[in-house]
């Protein structure tokens, strides 16, 4: 099968539309994953044994099971108990929870990197627990973890093709729809691969630039 530029021109608007859906899903899921990850990190470092143990068990369960299985559970199993999620909603929720479990470890590493003297200084200044976290710990813990967080955003973006398994019309979903309808897979899949490669390389370069700037600030 030879390459057909007319076919490319025909399907390109659908792929661009799907790529925009992919980007929006990635951005929303990334924001939610960072919040979920922070909640998990706080819970894992809690002084309450039951809360800490529960957070560790849930986090490990999420990290040790495949994302596709979790996605199927959200989309196909939850309706059996009366919880019906739209494909995009299930995809965003699945991505955010799955990567939130990984991001929690990044946050935890950043928090543990704060010198113990900073905690003691906060106590000496009679700062409350909330003031210690907001004014002392988080401002020092967050900047070092920005590059790893950026890498997880890229990983989430590359994971979105799995959402086509639950009929999300992201860029991969659109490509598969056009390929099956026209019985041509060369152009749609090649264009999707090129789109993912371009966006991933561009994002990685931006993260590298941000990392260098943060190092200069330090």
pLDDT digits (tens, 9 = 90+) for 162-211: 999 998 989 999 999 999 999 999 999 999 999 999 999 999 898 888 87
- Please state, in angstroms and rounded to a whole number, the distance separating the CA atoms of residues 135 and 157: 32
- Residue 65 is classified by DSSP as S
pLDDT of the residue at 139: 79
pLDDT of the residue at 140: 80
Maximum average pLDDT range among 27-31, 43-47, 199-203, 213-217: 27-31
Beta carbons within 8 Å of 14's beta carbon, 6+ residues apart = 174, 177, 178
Beta carbons within 8 Å of 138's beta carbon, 6+ residues apart = none
pLDDT digits (tens, 9 = 90+) for 88-125: 999 999 999 999 999 999 998 888 888 878 878 878 88
For all residues of the chain together, what is the average pLDDT? 90
pLDDT digits (tens, 9 = 90+) for 143-154: 788 888 999 999
Residue with more model confidence, 44 or 216: 44
Residue 89 vs residues 39, 66, 176: alpha-carbon distances, Å = 21, 19, 20
Closest CA to 97 of 66, 68, 62: 62
Q: Pick 5-217's CATH classification: 1.10.3720.10, 3.40.50.720, 1.10.287.610, 1.10.3470.10.
A: 1.10.3720.10
With a pLDDT cut of 70, the percent of the chain lying above it is 98
- Residue 78 is classified by DSSP as G
- Residue 114 is classified by DSSP as S
What is this structure's pTM? 0.87
């Amino acid at each position: 099968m030879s390459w057909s530029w007319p076919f490319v021109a025909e399907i390109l608007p659908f792929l661009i539309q799907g790529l925009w859906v992919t980007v929006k899903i990635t951005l929303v899921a990334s924001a939610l994953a960072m919040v979920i990850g922070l909640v998990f990190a706080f819970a894992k470092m809690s002084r309450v044994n039951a809360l800490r143990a529960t957070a560790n068990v849930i986090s490990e369960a999420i990290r040790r099971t495949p994302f596709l299985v979790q996605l199927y559970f959200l989309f196909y199993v939850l309706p059996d108990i009366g919880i019906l999620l739209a494909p995009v909603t299930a995809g965003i929720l699945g991505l955010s929870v799955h990567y939130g479990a990984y991001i929690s470890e990044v946050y935890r590493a950043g928090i543990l990197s704060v010198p113990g003297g900073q905690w003691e200084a906060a106590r000496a200044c009679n700062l409350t627990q909330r003031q210690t976290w907001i004014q002392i710990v988080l401002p020092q813990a967050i900047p070092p973890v920005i590059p790893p967080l950026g890498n997880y955003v890229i990983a989430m973006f590359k994971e979105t093709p799995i959402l086509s398994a639950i009929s999300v019309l992201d860029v991969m979903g659109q490509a598969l729809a056009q390929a099956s309808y026209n019985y041509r897979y060369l152009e749609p899949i090649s264009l999707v691969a090129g789109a993912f490669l371009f966006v991933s390389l561009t994002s990685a370069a931006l993260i590298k630039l941000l990392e260098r700037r943060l190092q200069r600030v330090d």
